[in-house]
Structure 1
Amino acid sequence: MDSFFSLFDPNCSDCSNDEFAIDNMNNQHSLPPEPQLGNVEYKLKIVNPTKQRFEHLVTQAMAKAIYEIGVEDSGILTGLSKLDMTVSLHTLHEMANKLGATTTILRERVLDNGRNISEVLIRKIPDDQNCIEIRVAVLGNADAGKSTLLGVLTQGSLDNGRGRARLNMFRHLHEVISGRTSSISHEILGFSAYGNPLTYNCSDLITAEEICENSTKLVTFLDLAGHKKYIRTTIRGLSGYSPHHAMLVISSAAGAVGMAHEHLAIAVALNVPFFIVVTKIDLVPATNTLQSLESFLKQVGSRRVPLAVKNLDDVITAGTNQLLENVVPIFCVSSVSGDGLSLLYKFLHVLPPGVSTKERERLEQESPEFQIDENFKAGDVGQILGGLLMKGVLTEGTKLIIGPMKNGTFQDVSIKSLHRNRVPCRMVRAGQSAAICLDTYIPALRNGMVLLSPEENARGCLFFQANVSVLFHATAIYPGFQTTVHIGNIRQTAVVIGICSSKCIHTNERDSILFKFKLHPEYVTVGQRLLFREGSAKGIGEITQVFPLTLTP
């Protein structure tokens, strides 16, 4: 119950057809029958329940997230009078208070008979978290308006038409001068318990710490580079930070051109759910761009139904189907006039994370594994690491090992302090990004290393084997082929040593390939996803075997 759940149960066979789901959202007479499993509950009314009945309803609510009030179990929209609806919503609010949860009315509708139905989201923040968090990677061609859109969303102020809003997104002077993002920057957007966006414009003195403290949901945007020469940095952001969703930004003035195709293909290859935002509609109407998006989606093999979001009903439909991967929501916005931004805010509020509560709890029980994406030394503070905790839990004073070094070994370290979203914290849990200060300076530190538990007895490797599918190659891949390999936060040149079933591998063919890292050992594990790219050649795969280095005494 840690996020927005589908109005249509993902496990329900009735929901497998895209058009069926979308059409029923607008059906004035009925919804699909109530699913037996899932997080949807139909209630005709909840008026003055007995104490025993109330406790039973509270117990039910622990496994539910969406309440359809005024709807029979069969899905027929019967509706309630205004008085009965008011009392039912009050009862639902009392049930949520009993759970320590909040209620948000997603939408209300008056039927033809004058009676009312309401859709209510019950959201309970897990006891071990301050708020629900999701990561959204922002993709798109250069000059599509990505940084400007993020500036408007997170700062809460519209752009002046000359790029003022994007200045807060840039990290380097050359980015300010050129207007192009070349690095990965992180920006946050909070939402209150009532779904109101919390931005830096909410108060003259509001800080990132205050946004985090007052948010029941926090969206972390990863602003990625759009220019072709920074494609490796963009892939590293998508692969290393494991975003829950990707937001593809397309300029209405230019259309889906340039790196938009490449970025979307990478997101699809990495199985990242995505949605599309068409910007600059104040300059050029989005009509032609919307017409071309259907063919654009087919070109990257996504096979999904585009849904132009025009009202609140469309927003709920989009959030419902986002994790089902059958609908691509499309928002048309202007960072100058503000058109369409309210619908985008609402969508981000109901957007679900990609990991269930049970999966997150399972990952937290495992030994820590922190992937290092950035590292630097900050004056007298010490060695600072930035990255993502894939498994386990970290606290101040936790003893870990870091590596692999050039000989494949790991070195003992200890955590001095932790920061999340620019705010000090005492604990970091699986799936959260953080900055870590170590008690020891590591001169040989590089991006792509990992922090692990000393119990792992880990070693680096040079050789690994993977089942690979070649997405494109002009001729064929032979042993000796060198390519840039992306595995999580790892980015390094690797050489094809051998191909299992044949002498070479062509486009759209699969085979098992033995790779060797060219420069230094890395820490990889069986089951990790792999993406390689060299010029126009690219492919994806999964690691099946690792050959750790043998350490000589």
Structure 2
Amino acid sequence: MSPDRAVLEQALERGEQEGGNVEFKERLTREIHLADGRLESLAAQLRHRVLSGDGEATYVVGVTDDGGLAGIDAETFSESMDVLSLLSEEAGSHIEEVQTWGVGDEGLVGVATICEGSMLNTDDGHIVVGTAGHVDHGKSTLVGSLVTGQPDNGEGSTRSFLDVQPHEVERGLSADLSYGVYGFDDDGPIRTNNPHRKQDRARIVEEADRLVSFVDTVGHEPWLRTTIRGLVGQKLDYGLLTIAADDGPTKTTREHLGILLATELPTIVAITKADMVTDKRVHEVEREVERLLRDADRSPLGIQRHGVEAAIEEISETVVPVVTTSAVTMAGLPVLDELFEQLPKTADGTGEFSMYIDRTYKITGVGAVASGTVRSGTVEAGDELLIGPMADGSFRDVEVRSIEMHYHRVDEAKAGRIVGIALKGIREVDIERGMILVPRDADPKPVREFEAEVMVLNHPTRINDGYEPVVHVETVCEAAAFYPEGRQLLPGDSGRTRVRFKFRPYVVEEGQRFVFREGQSKGVGTILDLSEN
């Protein structure tokens, strides 16, 4: 018997008791259980169960009154969770966690843990930081030590908290975006004991007055596309570029710095692995970093020399704070703690709700989940939204079932939050990265073409009519054809070009920044004018 199954077995063994905190329900439907005053009586029953369990109740759904495993289909289970969520809200509680098991061919049984108090609502101090840097320059290790407060063993032990695929752990390379979170309260940092445990990460979200989320990107050249997705496709407040003291700035370092600066993201440079080299070598790399930044028309600001307050006051599109660190000795990490605790949120989240979709999931008993960073506005459970565009440019009506942030269920999500939104009305297979969620009454205009101002950062020859790179704008990642004014653009050139998505339309806006790449060719651009379908 697996530990997860033991949760179900223990609930069934305890059974329904007069003064107990366990309740059996075969199913809950809107038509029956929310009609004719039943909501109030069932909410009172739920409140009694919560109080009997000292603030926590267990609801077993998909079983008969005597605890027999009946099993219900996925759609009925989802409706039951919706009703249970409404009952919990009425009772001043919230669903903390749901675990499900299969019964028979298509039946489901679930255990919902219901806790006293409303769902979490975080303040506006939550900042999102995107990391970048060459492979093996210590990005994931540095973030792992920050979120856990644990020193690295010199072999990347804290990096394992962020590498999510088995081949990444084995090779010591990150091949996809991963996420880390820690926070602060009046007593200082609140860290995770083990970020792999969703309950531990949820605890941080629940306890912290201020949150810092990291989008940890990829340093290896073959996965540059994923790095660009992390830096362009998330609503970031700051960039964190790592440069190893034993290696110094590399070609990849320069590319990642170019992307960060081209997207006008306030950036911090962390020189890592200071424990591996002499003080003389550290000073040499610090000088190299200063030259690199000045060559990019940026002013370096040494935090350890000028102080955290100066860095907070001066960080901008033109001033780049620099800090020397070691995840092994933890040198420089208290400086980063102090910095992240005080840095203001920069991303503008005003306006109506919108979110570009970065990932999709299918969760048994819940259905389709779209993950991404809320770009603007606020979304709440029960909101009616549009999702799209589909390949033909159309949009689908969907409803928000529930929202999770770092494994903690929340009642709403504001701009800048990295969230998963469970959606009713669409299958997971019909959702694609690059689609957008907007309110039902919005009038989104998908386009195939737009005019843009671009700068060619690198190209072996020249860009001519019909040049087809991959364009990254928000979470959109699509091949597109370029048709520049004057019919060509040389390396280092800036100019206007018409851009046409090759396969389908997307929702983009004037003023959005984008990155394009094809082989060793790379560039950046800004959308100027749109052409509707």
TM category (shorter chain) comes to 0.7 to 0.9
**In 2 relative to 1, CA 157–206 (structure 1 residues): closer, same or farther, beyond 3 Å?**
farther
Quick check: 1:145 aligned with 2:130? no
Aligned AA (2:226) = T
Residue 425 of structure 2 is matched in structure 1 by 440
Give the 3-state SS of the residue equivalent to 1:417 in structure 2: strand
Distance in 1, Cα, partners of 2:524 & 2:149: 39
Distance in 2, Cα, partners of 1:259 & 1:469: 18
Contact 1:382 1:440 in 2 (8 A): no
Alignment of 1:260-271 (within 5 A): 260-271=253-264
Shift of 1:201: 3.9
Shift of 1:402: 0.8
Distance in 2, Cα, partners of 1:294 & 1:262: 16
Contact 1:410 1:459 in 2 (8 A): no
Contact 2:128 2:416 in 1 (8 A): no
Per-residue CA deviations over 1:331-380 (Å, capped at 9, x if unaligned) read: 2222112222222211221222214xxx54xx1xx332111000121222
Residue 256 of structure 1 is matched in structure 2 by 249
Distance in 2, Cα, partners of 1:238 & 1:379: 31
Q: 1:302 aligns with which of 297, 300, 303?
A: 297
Residue 155 of structure 1 is matched in structure 2 by 148
Q: 1:341 aligns with which of 329, 333, 343?
A: 333
Q: Calculate percent identity across the aligned residue pairs.
A: 30
Contact 1:528 1:543 in 2 (8 A): yes
Q: 2:516 aligns with which of 516, 532, 537?
A: 532
Q: 1:315 aligns with which of 308, 333, 341?
A: 308
TM-score of the pair, normalised by structure 2: 0.73
Contact 2:403 2:421 in 1 (8 A): yes
Contact 1:131 1:218 in 2 (8 A): no
Distance in 1, Cα, partners of 2:484 & 2:287: 43
TM-score of the pair, normalised by structure 1: 0.70
Distance in 2, Cα, partners of 1:417 & 1:202: 25
Alignment of 1:64-103 (within 5 A): none
Distance in 2, Cα, partners of 1:354 & 1:321: 13
Distance in 2, Cα, partners of 1:290 & 1:334: 14
Q: 1:179 aligns with which of 172, 175, 178?
A: 172
**In 2 relative to 1, CA 376–209 (structure 1 residues): closer, same or farther, beyond 3 Å?**
closer
Distance in 2, Cα, partners of 1:232 & 1:445: 20
Distance in 2, Cα, partners of 1:308 & 1:452: 41
- State the number of aligned residues: 409
**In 2 relative to 1, CA 157–128 (structure 1 residues): closer, same or farther, beyond 3 Å?**
closer
Per-residue CA deviations over 1:42-97 (Å, capped at 9, x if unaligned) read: xxxxxxxxxxxxxxxxxxxxxxxxxxxxxxxxxxxxxxxxxxxxxxxxxxxxxxxx
Give the 3-state SS of the residue equivalent to 1:456 in structure 2: coil
Contact 1:309 1:329 in 2 (8 A): no
Q: 1:505 aligns with which of 470, 489, 514?
A: 489
Distance in 2, Cα, partners of 1:241 & 1:453: 20
Shift of 1:546: 2.0
**In 2 relative to 1, CA 305–149 (structure 1 residues): closer, same or farther, beyond 3 Å?**
closer
Contact 1:279 1:332 in 2 (8 A): yes
Distance in 2, Cα, partners of 1:129 & 1:308: 29
Residue 451 of structure 1 is matched in structure 2 by 437
Distance in 2, Cα, partners of 1:389 & 1:280: 34
Structure 1's unaligned 5+ residue stretches are 1-126
Alignment of 1:204-353 (within 5 A): 207-285=200-278, 286-299=282-295, 301-310=296-305, 314-323=307-316, 325-353=317-345
Per-residue CA deviations over 1:190-237 (Å, capped at 9, x if unaligned) read: 01124x111124999982222222222111011100000111111111
CA RMSD of aligned residues (A): 2.2
Structure 2's unaligned 5+ residue stretches are 1-119
**In 2 relative to 1, CA 466–327 (structure 1 residues): closer, same or farther, beyond 3 Å?**
closer
Per-residue CA deviations over 1:430-482 (Å, capped at 9, x if unaligned) read: 23221100113333221000112222233422222212232333322111111
